[in-house]
Structure 1
């Protein structure tokens, strides 16, 4: 029976999501825990909504997997959280609706990138989750620059190319707001993301915020459709996958078919 599991994790001590021999990854840790609680030498393989890179965090990661008949959600959650390390936590688990696919049924992924731009406001306790920059940021200029990137485009200039993979994406939201003195957050929402796309987008707008670039510059980079060495891909630790949104249950299968047709086998990574 196909199940959906929602989880969160601190990505600091992980080498990303995807299982890698000899390295600690979120997928590896989760599958090992499943093998323990299910008493299976070959634990079930899990498929996630978005494969996060080394150091990226998640509050809203979603996976699907096949579990034996008779699995009880409450017991599964309790037992998994009992054996998982402290940097991973299961929020919810339930049998999945018909046609549900954690990756392809998703309507969009929402990431947030967090920045501190005031030395006096820097909190070293947040150093694994917030990027510290040296200059104050102008949020209005950053929003002006980000607005030019919205819509469906070829984001090749902001992606690490993968053989045979499309770099066309629909960027639904890219906005900045000041949440407290010295604290700025970028919200980035798209139907899907290419490898390193979110961090490259953020890196193209930060120099607009501190005055080194004009608000038109990120759009010029986008139009060139080639990687620009002047775009700094910001560090992973400021990035968190906050939410994966899905359609109503009856629309899961149709959405998965649509996404496969549009994207093909494209890795959904932030």
Structure 2
């Protein structure tokens, strides 16, 4: 049987999603717990491989189990074997043609910035922090609109990216302020390595008044990572939703999170 599971996790204690030798990973913990329930080795496929320290409220994984189990075993049973900072939120049996990665047509991320003089204590590691001045979210949002559509995102491509093409299609992007928080919300068909964090770092340069709104278009057209701003830290980055064709019946998310955000 092939299963799809929704996964939420706090990425602080992990070296990213993907399994790496001698380092803790989200994939490693999930495969260990799922294999225990399946009573056989299981390899999972994820919708998006998040970086070290990055979180998720809407990650999706899929896998094949050689042994049949009730759906509750893949939710409550797996959760009982997972550490407290990883949880299965839903489960569904799917057709053999479903892949958490290849069947998805869009991923949505949120990057949350605490824009206050004092560093966050309760939200440490869960939000990024910018204390230098009041970020101009209106200017950041205006600058971000040049990224819409299918384009070459080489300017925001991290070193070591293994993607065969820098082309990505951004369908929605917005920057908004809510009190002392500034949030970048972006949806695309897929993302390059560090793409969201590199976009966030450049938009913060504009929000701080270091660069004009027009600078975003200039560096984007330059297709050179060296032209852009610094890579924003992983703190505050969340994979919040993954979209699939209706035929697979994957549950639609109504509350994207994270916990303290609508």
Q: Which whole-Å deviations, capped at 9, do the CAs of 1:173-216 have from their partners, x for residues lacking one?
A: 2211112x211111011000001101001111111111110001
Task: With the length of structure 1 as denominator, give the TM-score of the two structures.
Answer: 0.87
Whether 1:26 and 2:53 are equivalent positions in the alignment is no
Task: With the length of structure 2 as denominator, give the TM-score of the two structures.
Answer: 0.90
Structure 1 Cα separation of the partners of residues 237 and 163 of structure 2 = 27
Per the alignment, residue 166 of structure 1 pairs with: 165
Whether 1:131 and 2:112 are equivalent positions in the alignment is no
Mapping of residues 82-231 of structure 1, within 5 Å: 82-119=80-117, 122-134=119-131, 135-160=133-158, 162=161, 165-179=164-178, 181-228=179-226, 230-231=228-229
Structure 2 Cα separation of the partners of residues 102 and 165 of structure 1 = 20
Unpaired segments ≥5 residues, structure 2: 251-262
Contact 1:98 1:249 in 2 (8 A): no
Structure 2 Cα separation of the partners of residues 33 and 163 of structure 1 = 29
Structure 2 Cα separation of the partners of residues 146 and 138 of structure 1 = 12
Structure 2 Cα separation of the partners of residues 88 and 164 of structure 1 = 27
Structure 1 Cα separation of the partners of residues 33 and 249 of structure 2 = 31
Per the alignment, residue 257 of structure 1 pairs with: none
Structure 2 Cα separation of the partners of residues 44 and 250 of structure 1 = 22
Looking at both structures, which has the greater relative contact order when contacts are Cα pairs under 8 Å and sequence separation is at least 6? 1
> Following superposition, which runs of at least 4 residues in structure 1 exceed 3 angstroms of deviation?
161-164
Unpaired segments ≥5 residues, structure 1: 253-270
| Pairwise CA distance, 1:65 | 0.3
| Pairwise CA distance, 1:164 | 6.5
Higher helix share: 1
Contact 1:221 1:228 in 2 (8 A): no
Secondary structure of residue in 1 paired with 2:73: helix
